[in-house]
Amino acid sequence: MEIRIANAGYIAFLALMSSPWSAALASGPVEPLAKDTVQQKSLLAPQSTNEGQAEFVASSVGIQSASERPSGDPIRAGSDQLYPQQLEQRLAKEQASDRDVPSFQSLFGIPLRGADYKPTRQIRCDALRHLKTPSTYRRLDSFSRPEVVLPQAKESDFVNRDYMTGDWGRVRTDLYKAGVDVYACLGFDNLNVLQGNLSATSAVRSAPPNVTDQQNYVQLYGLDFYSELVKKEWEGGQLHFSFAWPESKPIWLFGNALTPINTQSVHGNFYYDVGTARDNGGSANSASAYQGFRVFEIWGQQRYGKNMQNFVRVGNIYPWINLNKSMLAAMFNFWTFDEPGSLGTNKNTGRGPIYPTAPLGIQWQHIINDNMEFLAQVGAGYYDPTSGIANRQGLTWFLDQNNGIEGVVQLTFKGGTYSQNKTDFGLPWLVHLGGQFHTGELFSNYLDVNGNPFQLTGLPRRSYNFNGGFYVTAESMLFREKGSYNQGLTAFVKTAQYFHDYANLLRSTYVAGLGYEGLIPGRDTDVFMVGLGAVNMTQGAAAWNRLYRSCTSTPACNNTGIQYVIEIGYSAKLTTWMFIQPSIQYLVQPYGRTDLGNLTSVTLSLGVSF
């Protein structure tokens, strides 16, 4: 979605009141406290009493005289009333027996949720596409149970409170209790090319300037209204608005002109880059027509079922907030690690770059059992067939017959502490199995209507009316340090496969990554990560490049159709609301070309929730 909103007052209001593209809570709302013996301990509250009542209580527990009677007022413990010393003895005895029962407290030392427990409302600026995934005692939790959701810190605790700007003198809390949630992220990225591959051949390199540095600024705002705002008895309803304001200079636009849109790689850094052309309005090479404030998501939702974890959502929905979730994968900077993406980018590229698009549609999540859930989305085939030029406000719907529909269906299996089985405390793991389809018009990237190279014949390109593929993602914690819930090694693997050989930009993707949370002593929530990704272009995309001037003008030109990337990064939580992440990326065979050399870049990312 690419829109400039001219009304400055409107923008200022939204900037004050809202925040980033938000994701529906992956594990559903926090459940009420279970009424078991352990949690009832925290519900014991002092009760007022008079001297006669004190005498009765004292005698009932075997205290015969005032001199033997413990000091202080009796405390109600279920149907009994006990003096503080006796209550402490009872709690000590019960807690000793509790240690023999597996629980998050006995196994990992996670505190019990008391009567004053309030779940944190932190947002995940370090994994933007999964922004509202609940924050737990493990930073890499893709799913969780209510018992491990972090408690809300005191407002006076500047370092650990939910947002940098705090509670606004309780205004934020009062709004939330009434059914209104406002949140925001500010992200900054800086990239520098250490090793470039800019060709000396004018037919290969793009027109100047060819920059070797990039700065991205993105503001994300969210505004949610919950059904209790309308009626206290109405549970599970939600109206969501999110807005984005990116300002970037996409590094992949400036360099060698290898792709059909004169960029130098299949994928680039920072998937929320919005520039898809070097000069389309504004100053030369600014890609300024793609910058600025725009609507991202607008949808309504109703939850239902056990613990209100199921939902039906209707509106402009970005599918990959809930689909194919892996928090570790989402923390990498290079696009390849966010695979898969949508089929409906535009009619020329099909399954190509990962654009953050939110087409009109309907999304349905249903929890099948403690270890399995179903998620599907069906919507408009193209968010914008012009790749963001026509849909300037994010509110235009492209519903004509040639645009078709796009759908994704996913089945998720999960176990360990990702499971909702309250007796399963094993290492967390998940498997996503997904299928994608698209019924809109899609043009061949190589063949004309007669099956010959359209670049040579000049005839119209062949068109297709179906596109599809499937993906598999697996994530698991491989090793957990003794007594720790979060510290240890986590891995993920992904693959996506698509059906066309002479349409789409990508034929298949393969991605793997490792992340160790708490590797450095004293930095228990920092994550060290390393990943490897490979994208295979379709035969048509590679053949197109061999006939393009950037190849025909170079005698040594060779295109393998495969691009690799290696990324190494370290994400440090400085506070609950701020992170910093240095990374290095090594891009091998940009756009499959072996004759131009590889690219090495370093990035520094900073995110703040406010």
All domains in the chain, ordered by first residue = 8-33+119-609 (2.40.160.180), 37-108 (no CATH)
* pLDDT > 60? residue 453: yes
215/573: higher pLDDT: 573
In three-state secondary structure terms, 371 is coil
Per-residue pLDDT band at 81 (split at 50, 70, 90): low
Q: What is the pLDDT of residues 154-192, one digit of tens each?
A: 999 999 999 999 999 999 999 999 999 999 999 998 888
Q: Which of 253, 230, 226, 228 is nearest to 240 (CA)?
A: 226
Percentage of the chain modeled with pLDDT above 70: 77
Distance between CA 22 and CA 181 in Å, rounded? 11
What pLDDT does residue 99 have? 56
Residue 119's Cα: distance from chain center in Å? 19
- Checking if the pLDDT of 59 tops 70, the result is no
Percent of the chain past pLDDT 90, that is, above it, reads 54
pLDDT tens digits for range 355-374: 777 889 999 999 999 999 99
What is the distance between the alpha carbons of residues 337 and 583, in angstroms, rounded to a whole number? Answer: 14
Q: What is the pLDDT of residue 61?
A: 34
pLDDT, one tens digit per residue, over 529-576 is 999 999 999 999 899 888 888 888 888 899 999 999 999 999 999 999
Residues 563 and 587 sit within 8 Å (Cβ to Cβ): yes
User: What secondary structure does DSSP assign to 444-481, as a single string?
Assistant: EEEEETTSSBHHHH-PPEEEES-EEEEEEEEEEEEEE-
Q: What is the pLDDT of residues 273-318, one digit of tens each?
A: 555 454 444 443 445 555 677 888 999 999 999 889 999 999 999 9
If you write DSSP's letter for every residue of 82-142 in order, what string do you get?
E-HHHHHHHHHHHHHHHTTS--HHHHH-PPP--TT--B-----TTSGGGTTSPPBSSTT-S
Look at the block and give the residue holding tokens 């680039």.
Answer: 268
pLDDT above 60 for 14: no
Q: How far apart are CA 438 and CA 466, in angstroms?
A: 6
72: left (phi over 0), alpha (psi -120 to 50) or beta: left
User: Does pLDDT of 79 surpass 70?
Assistant: no
